[in-house]
Structure 1
Amino acid sequence: MKQGRVAVIGSLNMDVVVQTKRPPRMGETVMGETVHFIPGGKGANQAVAAAKLGAETSMVGAVGDDPFGQSLVQSLQENGVKAKAVKTVPGFPTGVATILLSGGENCIAVVPGANSQCLPADVEAHREQIATVDVVLLQLEVPLETVLAAARTAKELGKTVILNPAPARELPKELYRLSDVITPNRSELEFLTERSVEGDGLQQAMNRLRERGAGCVVTTLGDRGAAILSKEGFQRVPGHPVEVVDTTGAGDAFNAGLACGLSEGMDLFRAVGFAGRVSALAVTRLGAQEGMPGRREVESFIPVEKEEGDH
C-alpha cells in the first residue's frame, strides 16, 4: 500500500486541561484535581494523528509570537509533521482551549487568537505544497473564508476534500459542493439540519447534506460507531467498546484516520472502519495529540464485538 499524503489547513491551540471529579454548575466553584498544558487545536491534532499513522503530513496554520506558539510548532515537528507553512503572527496570542474534563467527558471553550490570522493568502502561498498531497483535511476553527479558499484550491488541483464541520456553524452551499466527504458528529448533524437524528432521522438528516452537494456524509456516533451515506447507499459501521479516559480529540483522531485511509487508496467503508479503530484507541489515554495511536497499534487492535441486541 502506498504512503498517503495529507495536508491539513486549520487551527493550533494550547489545551489547558483541568480535571475535576464533577463538572461545576454555572456560578459554582469546584476544586480541580490536576491541570495539564497539552498541544492541541483541531487542525494540529489531526495533523499529528495523520503523521503518527504513517501519512506524509503537512500543515498550514498560524500561532502567536509567544512560548505557546513555539511549543505547538515544536510538537508538530517532533511528531513528523511538516510545519514550514505554520506562520508566526506578531501581536496576536496563540490560540487557547480551556478543557474541563470529568468522568472521561469534556466541555471546551476556545479563544482563537492567532488562528484568526490564518488567511486565504496563506493557502495560496502554499499552493505548490498542497499540489503534492492526496487529501486536504479542513475544520472550522480558522476563518470560514480560509476554509473556502482551501477547498477551492484543493478541488482545482484535483484533491480529495474532507470537511470536519466543527465547531458547528452555518455553512455556505458552495462549501458543501466542494466537500467530497463531510464528517459531522451527531450534534453537528442536528445543528446543520435542524432536525433530530433519532431513529430514521439519522439517514434523513444525512441525506439533507447530500442534497446540499456533499459528495458523501460520514456521521460519527461515539461508541455506536459511524454511519455512511454515499451514492452507494446507507451503511452502518460498528463501534468498539473501550475504557474511556479522555474524549478530547476523538473526532480529530477519526478524521485523521479517514484522511490517511483514503489517501492510501482504501475504499470509503474500509477507511471509516480504520478511522473508528484510531478513534477508539485515542480515547483510552489523556491528551489529544499525546493520545493519538501509532500505525502498529491500530493494526494490532482487535475490536471487541458488541453482543447481539446491544445498541
Structure 2
Amino acid sequence: MILVVGSYGAGITIRVPRVPDAGETISGSTLNIGHGGKSSNQAVTVARQGGQVSLLTALGDDAFADAARTMWTQEGVEHTRVKTSQGSTMAGVIVVEPSGENRIAIAPGVLDELTPEDLEAHREAFAAADVVVVCLEVPVATAERAITLARESGATVVLNPAPAASLHHDVIAMADYFVPNESEHEFYVREGYRAPATQTVIVTQGGDGVSVTTGDDSELLAPLIQDTVVDTTGAGDTFVGTFAAALDAGEELRTAVQRAIVASSLSVTVAEVIPSIPGRAAVDDALADYLQNN
C-alpha cells in the first residue's frame, strides 16, 4: 500500500494567448476549475496505475472539499485520513500559455493547519504503508515528521521536494528516493545538500530526460518527446505517482523510472491535470515502444 502525505487543492486554470505584463489585462482567455494539489494528483496517478493508495491531507469546509471527496471515491483513492477544518481548501491559479508552459500561484488555506500532531494520530497508516510519498505543499515541520514517521515504520520513502523549501539535511537524507526537477535540485545544491550514498537522486529535466544517481553511479535516461505539448501542469505529479506505483509493484529502479518518464510524457498531451493522467494500459503500450527505441 502507498500512503501519500501532502496536498489537495482546487486548480483554477486560465489559458491565455500570452502572459500579461504587470498592470496589463488580457482577454480571449478560457477558464476551467478542476482538481489539483500535488499529493492528490500523485494519489490519483497511483490508483490509475493499479496501486492501492491512501491520502493524508487537509480540506476546508467548502464546495471544493465536497468535490474532492467525490473525485477520490470515483478514482479509488482511500481518504478516511483527511483532516477537515473551518476555512478554505487550498486553491491554485494556473496560467497556461499556448506552448503548454505554465505559471502557478497558490493560496494554501487550511493546508497550512496540517500539523505534525495530525500525522501522529495516523501512525497506523504509516505502519501499514510499503511506500510513503511526501511533497512540500504542507508546512515544513509536517513534511519532516512525515518522512521520519515513514522511516521509523520501515517504509520506502519517496520525497518530492516541491515546491522547494529548506529542510534539515539529515531529514532529506532519510528519503530512499529524492525526486526534484531541475530548478528544485539547483535549490538544494545551493543549500549545500549532499545526498548520502544510500539515497537515489532522480532529477526530472523535461526534454533532456531524467538523471538517476545513486552514490557514484549515474545514468541519464532518455525522454519521450511528444510532437504536441498541450499542458505540462501535471507532468511532475504523474511522474512521481507512476514511479511510486512501480516501486510498490516490485519494479526495478530503472524500469520504474522509465515507466514514469512515459506516463509523464503522455500527460502533457492532454489539457488539465486529472484528465491528463494516463491509465496503466496506455502506459504499458507507450512503454513498449519507448523501450524499443532506447
TM-score range, shorter chain: over 0.9
User: How many Å separate the matches in 1 of 2:130 and 2:74?
Assistant: 23
Q: Indicate the RMSD between aligned Cα atoms, in angstroms.
A: 2.0
What SS does the aligned partner of 1:122 have? helix
User: How many Å separate the matches in 2 of 1:172 and 1:129?
Assistant: 24
Match of 2:96 in 1: 101
Match of 2:171 in 1: 175
User: How many Å separate the matches in 1 of 2:291 and 2:56?
Assistant: 38
Unaligned ranges ≥5, structure 1? 196-204
Taking structure 2 as the reference length, the TM-score comes to: 0.94
CA contact (8 A) 1:18 1:32 kept: no
CA contact (8 A) 1:250 1:283 kept: yes
Match of 2:10 in 1: 14
Match of 2:201 in 1: 217
User: How many Å separate the matches in 2 of 1:235 and 1:101?
Assistant: 32
Matches within 5 A, 1:58-73: 58-73=54-69
Match of 1:24 in 2: 20
Match of 2:185 in 1: 189
Whether 2:235 is the aligned partner of 1:250: answer yes
User: How many Å separate the matches in 2 of 1:73 and 1:118?
Assistant: 18
CA contact (8 A) 2:233 2:272 kept: yes
Length, aligned pairs only: 291
CA separation of 1:13 and 1:233: change in aligned 2, threshold 3 A: same
Match of 2:51 in 1: 55
CA contact (8 A) 1:13 1:94 kept: yes
User: How many Å separate the matches in 1 of 2:119 and 2:261?
Assistant: 30
- The counterpart of 1:126, out of the listed 106, 112, 122, is 122
- The counterpart of 1:281, out of the listed 261, 266, 276, is 266
CA contact (8 A) 1:65 1:94 kept: yes
CA contact (8 A) 2:11 2:93 kept: yes
Whether 2:132 is the aligned partner of 1:136: answer yes
CA separation of 1:76 and 1:241: change in aligned 2, threshold 3 A: same
Match of 2:210 in 1: 226
The offset of 1:165, in angstroms, is: 0.6
User: How big is each residue's C-alpha offset from its partner over 1:56-97, in whole Å with a ceiling of 9 and x where there is no partner?
Assistant: 00000001000011111221121110011112111x211000
CA separation of 1:135 and 1:32: change in aligned 2, threshold 3 A: farther
User: How many Å separate the matches in 2 of 1:271 and 1:263?
Assistant: 10
Taking structure 1 as the reference length, the TM-score comes to: 0.89
What SS does the aligned partner of 2:57 have? strand
CA contact (8 A) 1:179 1:214 kept: no
The offset of 1:290, in angstroms, is: 2.0
List structure 1 runs of 4+ shifted beyond 6 angstroms. 305-308
Match of 1:160 in 2: 156
